[in-house]
Amino acid sequence: MTTQTPAISKAFYAIIAGVGGGTGRAVALRFARTYPVAVLARTEASYAGIVDEVVRRGGEAVGVSADVADEKSLASALEVVREKFKGKGLAVGVYNVGAGLSIKPFLETTVEDLDQSLASNVRGLYNFAHSTLPSLLDSVSANPPYPPTLLVTGATASLRGAARFGTFAAGKFAVRALSQSLAREFGPQGVHVAHVVVDGVIEGPRTKGYTVNEGVEDGKLDPEAIAESYWHLHTQHRSAFTHELDLRPYVEKF
Amino acid sequence: MTTQTPAISKAFYAIIAGVGGGTGRAVALRFARTYPVAVLARTEASYAGIVDEVVRRGGEAVGVSADVADEKSLASALEVVREKFKGKGLAVGVYNVGAGLSIKPFLETTVEDLDQSLASNVRGLYNFAHSTLPSLLDSVSANPPYPPTLLVTGATASLRGAARFGTFAAGKFAVRALSQSLAREFGPQGVHVAHVVVDGVIEGPRTKGYTVNEGVEDGKLDPEAIAESYWHLHTQHRSAFTHELDLRPYVEKF
Amino acid sequence: MTTQTPAISKAFYAIIAGVGGGTGRAVALRFARTYPVAVLARTEASYAGIVDEVVRRGGEAVGVSADVADEKSLASALEVVREKFKGKGLAVGVYNVGAGLSIKPFLETTVEDLDQSLASNVRGLYNFAHSTLPSLLDSVSANPPYPPTLLVTGATASLRGAARFGTFAAGKFAVRALSQSLAREFGPQGVHVAHVVVDGVIEGPRTKGYTVNEGVEDGKLDPEAIAESYWHLHTQHRSAFTHELDLRPYVEKF
Amino acid sequence: MTTQTPAISKAFYAIIAGVGGGTGRAVALRFARTYPVAVLARTEASYAGIVDEVVRRGGEAVGVSADVADEKSLASALEVVREKFKGKGLAVGVYNVGAGLSIKPFLETTVEDLDQSLASNVRGLYNFAHSTLPSLLDSVSANPPYPPTLLVTGATASLRGAARFGTFAAGKFAVRALSQSLAREFGPQGVHVAHVVVDGVIEGPRTKGYTVNEGVEDGKLDPEAIAESYWHLHTQHRSAFTHELDLRPYVEKF
């Protein structure tokens, strides 16, 4: 059953959408140990450093600007990626986008808060899945090192609509719904779709100032630790796919 | 604790959005036994018969055309309603809208399928809740017969993203997220927000031809039975609010 | 579809197991408005007052001592009940037992804490269901006013294994498992099985001293309010059965 | 963050309870690549082959007969293990016991079916956790290669009480309750408690004859694939613990 990890795959590549934060970066670096990686973000500033870092470590990477909530923007970006990795199959797509966090009393929100959450969460996933699943299906029969995989990042708000998180939770619940549906449709076709509930604050520049879990060591999620679980999901044998797992700091209340 | 049901309330009214199918109609008729009711639907054809029926039974009703997914359309409709019921408080709002059911292989769907599901499900609820919660809050201190209530209709797809139901489930999960969030924010302020998971096919003209549960008697949900549970939710004492319940035929697999 | 509530049924009776606290008492009094009721508790002190109260209000009641976790004790008690209500069918059984709450660090618990929780929660329900379901099935075809019903009381710990609540939650989760299974098996045979998640502190002599929800009015569940929802569940039409609902004070965090 | 996997740890060992089937065996062999392992089963026949296999592969193992549902039996067995691995810390305990599967109409079950399910599932886990958590806590500060871990095997029936599975589901739900509670209490103390929902039929001698998922290749869970996920859970960084994941064949309906 076990497959040796190829040094760097010549035949397959990975796409990670949403590398503006620490998780996307760590996931890209983790998958780049095995695959050439394409990293997508709204702005070059978000991915330039990652591409450099992958190359510095002996890997291969391409960065492309894209707004995944916009079908055409994503389509153009994927064209660039496919040109770059022509002849390779898609091994894994990671959907790690999801802005739209606005914590406000409901009556102070506007419908734009909702629309932004829906766009960056579920419409983005819709577009990303719609564009990458045909390639993932093609890879099933192309002797990939591991089952072709679509990984989706969720959050606490994927499972719980907390007070004042309504518009955000709407987007996250919708992402979970679509992920489940895709898992049920594409699993039997050999594509592994998994949803990861990240339940806590992720360590990174944006969260440096946050005191969570009373500031104890490892009280925020280490992006590299998250990336290890993404990699594990990708490497699961098709007889034992995980559809959903949670990740949280050992001290996190849940 | 118990409160006598007023014959027909002079001081409060109810709004039911989404009366094109059997559930909305039955809910409107049930609540019209106590309150003047406003019924909203996209087209007059959907509500005209209900208004007549309420009046015939000695109640009071107004019907207004509205597209709840469109902020302005809903705002105009509510203005008509408020003018009609001037001086009365809002006792209950029922959100029973939710089209966007398209059962298709994912790769045959378009982003419009998703957008339509999100619009009629969660954007509609957002608009409806945003417009009615201020009135419901006002009613808390106006000595209403029962706690002011916002009731939301869900479906099997609110809890489960089945294969080929992805775009529909996205909208329904999002509605559930928002309902939970509203319950947690407005419950402590005295407004009861409840979400009803209708898990089965509802009896009605549209489903007459469907054979479900092998065609056994009562194998589809009777809209009047649904309406009884909506009414029960509305009458719950604030010390014992239900946030979510399921409703399904006795023979339904779950 | 609607059925007139019979004054006091001559043909059917109800059994409520677990009337030591406020909920069992209120449920017994609520159902006694329609049915003769049998009330079971470990000690006469728990039910004597209820029997008197029912009679005082013009109803009919019998109290019997029983330990539901003990098959034989329950069997003897039910024999007394059946003798008393000979010729009547069983309309409803309510399982409202469930001691075994011990909130302790896990390493300070003993296996007896676990065994006590399992016995009073799930073994008790097993015995009660095993003894009453044949009668409830018999009633299905005996033209009962409402579908024969088995109602089960759950708690916050039915859905969540909180720290230091492990042995208690084990019993409550197990009750929920069994309730679900019974609903799925007996629903299609016409018996309504429902599980009620009581999520909060119930008002009563035992909880008088507890300050919950900052002591606000109605911050504890009113047993009469709980009883209204039990009654509603019993009266649901078979085309729209609820299997599970939650009940909590409007101010309760969830 | 990453730690090199030690060849074979000299300082820590693992215990796997329940090695009569394929999962326990595969988990034991997987963990034996890093740790000396103790394997517990009711009968020597269940573990003798595993001990030999571990030794043949250059590892270290001890097998002991025990009935985990019986406190004293388990205590004696653990004494043998501790004597054998004196001086080493406990790195991981795996609870993989859980008989009591009896699929029968409820009225054909007996209370012994329930008691057997509760004993082998939740009382066994209670005993196992009670006996091993003090050692796992000791290991937290003993510089272990990975956070000390308690892994618990669940099943489809951990989440769903299907018709005719009531007594089995009662035991499995209870195990899940206790696992959650332990995770919440011991996680903040540095011990990782995880619950794995195995949702499908596991490949092995006992299931050879079963045709599941129309007999397609990999339609049953490969025990080695399960073991890889157990190992992954054990190696998770404490900033990103998973409490629960599901494992199922790609073709399994869910």
Give per-residue pLDDT as tens, A156-166: 999 999 999 99
Interchain contact, A106 vs B169, CB within 8 Å: no
**Two tokens at A70?**
């916009």
Which pLDDT value is given to residue C21? 86
Least confident of A15-19, A212-216, B227-231, B236-240: A212-216
Please name the member of B1, B219, B246 whose beta carbon is closest to the beta carbon of C242: B246
Q: What pLDDT band is residue C55 in, cutting at 50, 70 and 90? A: very high
Restricting to A residues 187-216, those with a Cβ less than 8 Å away from any Cβ of D are 187-188, 190, 192, 203
Task: State whether B240 and C249 contact (CB < 8 Å).
Answer: yes
**Bridge partner list, A135:** none
Q: What is the pLDDT of residue A87?
A: 96
A54 phi, psi to nearest 5 deg: -60, -45
Cβ–Cβ < 8 Å for B190, B238: yes
pLDDT in tens, A115-153: 999 999 999 999 999 999 999 999 999 999 999 999 999
Three-state secondary-structure class, residue C254 = coil
Residue B2 pLDDT greater than 50, yes or no: no
User: How does residue D2 score in pLDDT terms, banded at 50, 70 and 90?
Assistant: very low
What is the structure's pLDDT at D1?
46
Give C75-102 as a 3 state SS string.
Answer: HHHHHHHHHHCCCCEEEEEEECCCCCCC
Q: Are C165 and C103 in contact (CB under 8 A)?
A: yes
pLDDT, residue A2, reads: 45
Q: Which of the pair, B240 or B2, is modelled with greater confidence?
A: B240
Q: Which residues of D21-48 are buried (b: 16+ CB within 10 A; e: fewer)?
A: bbbbbbbbbbbbebbbbbbbbbeeebbe
In three state form, how does the secondary structure of chain B look?
Answer: CCCCCCCCCCCEEEEEECCCCHHHHHHHHHHHCCCCEEEEECCHHHHHHHHHHHHHCCCCEEEEECCCCCHHHHHHHHHHHHHHCCCCEEEEEEECCCCCCCCCCHHHCCHHHHHHHHHHHHHHHHHHHHHHHHHHHHHHCCCCCCCCEEEEEEEHHHCCCCCCCHHHHHHHHHHHHHHHHHHHHHHHHCCEEEEEEECCCECCHHHCCCCCHHHCCCCCECHHHHHHHHHHHHHCCCCCECCEEEEECCCCCC
Mean pLDDT of chain C: 95
- D37-76 confidence digits (pLDDT tens): 999 999 999 999 999 999 999 999 999 999 999 999 999 9
Using the Cα atoms of residue B181, residue B182, residue B187 and residue B188 in order, give the sign of their dihedral.
Answer: positive
Distance from CA of B195 to the nearest CA of C (A): 10
Residues from chain B contacting residue A163 (CB–CB below 8 Å): 181, 184-185
Q: How many Å apart are CA B217 and CA B224, to the nearest integer?
A: 15
d(CA B151, CA A216): 42
Residue A254 pLDDT greater than 60, yes or no: yes
Decide which of D9 and A27 is more confident. A27
Task: Look over chain A and give the mean of its residue pLDDT values, rounded to a whole number.
Answer: 95
8 A C-beta contact, residue B238 and residue B41? no
Give the DSSP H or E segment for D223. helix D223-235
Side chain identity at residue C79, one-letter code: E
Q: Which two tokens stand for residue C10?
A: 């001559």
> With contact defined as beta carbons under 8 Å apart, do C60 and C81 qualify?
no
Average pLDDT over residues D239-244: 98
Chain A residues whose CB is inside 8 A of the B166 CB are: 177-178, 181-182, 185
Using an 8 Å CB-CB cutoff, list chain A residues near B175.
170
HEC states along A174-189?
HHHHHHHHHHHHHHHH
Convert the pLDDT of each residue in B136-161 to its tens digit: 999 999 999 999 999 999 999 999 99
| Per-residue model confidence as pLDDT tens digits over A53-109 | 999 999 999 999 999 999 999 999 999 999 999 999 999 999 999 877 889 999 999
Banded pLDDT at C9 (limits 50, 70, 90): confident
Interface probe, candidates C250, C253, C254, chain B, greatest B C-beta count within 10 A: C250
Cα separation of A8 and A32, whole Å? 8
pLDDT of residue C6: 54
Which tokens sit at D146? 């990975």
Residues of D in contact with C154 (CB under 8 A): none
Q: Does position C4 have pLDDT exceeding 60, yes or no?
A: no
Contact between D89 and D139 (Cβ < 8 Å): yes
Chains touching chain D through at least 3 C-beta pairs below 8 angstroms are: A, C
Q: D235: Cβ–Cβ under 8 A, 6 or more apart, which residues?
A: A228, D146
> Distance between CA B201 and CA B13 in Å, rounded?
29
Q: pLDDT tens for residues B67-111?
A: 999 999 999 999 999 999 999 999 999 999 987 788 999 999 999
DSSP class of A142: S
Residue ranges of B 76-135 with Cβ closer than 8 A to chain C: none
Q: Tokens 């497959």 sit at which residue?
A: A3
Q: What is the pLDDT of residue D10?
A: 87
CB proximity D176 to C under 8 Å: yes
Provide, as residue numbers in chain D, all residues whose Cβ is less than 8 Å from the Cβ of A221. 239-240
Inter-chain touch D245–A242, beta carbons under 8 Å:
yes
| pLDDT at C141 (0 to 100) | 96
The predicted pLDDT at position A5 comes to 52
Q: What is the DSSP letter of A77?
A: H
Asked if C218 and B225 come within 8 Å (Cβ–Cβ), the reply is no
Burial label, D137 (beta-carbon count in 10 A; 0-12, 13-18, 19+):
middle
Could you tell me what percent of chain C has a pLDDT over 90? 89
Q: Is D246 helix (H, G, I), strand (E, B) or coil?
A: strand
Distance CA C144, CA B222 (A): 19
pLDDT at A21: 86
The pTM of the full predicted model, rounded to 2 decimals, is: 0.97
C226 chain-B contacts, CB cut-off 8 A: 240
Contact C163 D177 (CB under 8 A): no
For residues C40 and C77, is the Cβ–Cβ distance under 8 A? yes
Measure CA B15 to chain center: 9
pLDDT surpassing 60 at residue B4: no
Q: Quote the minimal CA–CA distance from D148 to chain A in Å.
A: 12
Nearest one of A83, A82, A71, A124 to A100, comparing CA atoms = A124
Structure confidence at residue C3 (pLDDT)? 47
* Cβ separation B243–C254 shorter than 8 A: yes
Strands (E), chain A: 12-17, 37-41, 61-65, 89-95, 149-155, 192-198, 244-247
pLDDT over threshold 70, residue B167:
yes
- As a residue count, chain B comes to 254
State whether D239 and A250 contact (CB < 8 Å).
yes
Given a cut of 60, whether residue D212 has pLDDT beyond it is yes
Task: Return the residue in D250, D251, D252 with the most chain A beta carbons within 10 A, the one to mutate for interface testing.
Answer: D250
User: Using 50, 70 and 90 to split pLDDT, how confident is the model at C206?
Assistant: confident
Report ipTM for this prediction: 0.96
Which chains sit next to A, with 3 or more Cβ pairs under 8 A? B, D
- What pLDDT, on the 0 to 100 scale, is given for residue C203? 94
DSSP result, A20-32:
SSHHHHHHHHHHT
- Top residue of A5, A186, A214, A239 to mutate, by most chain D CBs within 10 Å, is A239
Cα-based distances in Å from A82 to A31, B82, B197:
18, 57, 43
- Residues of chain C positioned with their CB less than 8 A from the CB of B243: 246, 248, 254
Interchain pair D184, C162: CB under 8 A? yes
CB atoms within 10 A of CB B48: 13
| Among B137, B154, B180, B166, residue whose Cα is nearest residue B96 | B154
Output the CA torsion sign for B43, B46, B48, B54: negative
pLDDT at A3: 47
Contacts of D207 in chain A (CB under 8 A): none
pLDDT of residue C2: 45
Of A150-154, C69-73, C212-216, D86-90, the range with the lowest mean pLDDT is C212-216
- Which of D106, D115, D185 is opposite residue C164, by nearest beta carbon? D185
Query: What average pLDDT score do residues C211-235 get?
Result: 96
Q: CA of B222, closest CA in chain C: separation in Å?
A: 6
Percent of chain D with pLDDT over 70: 98
Q: Tell me the longest C-alpha to C-alpha distance in chain A.
A: 55
pLDDT reading at C1 higher than 50: no
Judged by a CB distance cut-off of 8 A, whether residue A229 touches chain D is yes
First to last CA, chain B: 36
Q: E-assigned strands of D96-191?
A: 149-155
Closest CB to A241 among D192, D203, D248: D248
Q: Which of C219, C238, C248 sits opposite B250 (nearest CB)?
A: C238
- Which of A29, A159, A241, A244 is the best substitution to test chain D (most D C-beta atoms within 10 A)? A241
Phi, psi dihedral angles at B17 (to 5 degrees): -100, 125
Among C184, C222, C240, select the one facing B226 at the smallest CB separation. C240
Least Cα separation, residue B44 to chain C (angstroms) = 28
Listed residue (D245, D138, D230) closest to D186, CA to CA: D138
How does residue B5 score in pLDDT terms, banded at 50, 70 and 90? Answer: low
Contact by Cβ (8 Å): C201, C183? no
Region A185-204: mean pLDDT is 97
**Chain B residues 1-60 with CB within 8 Å of chain A:** none
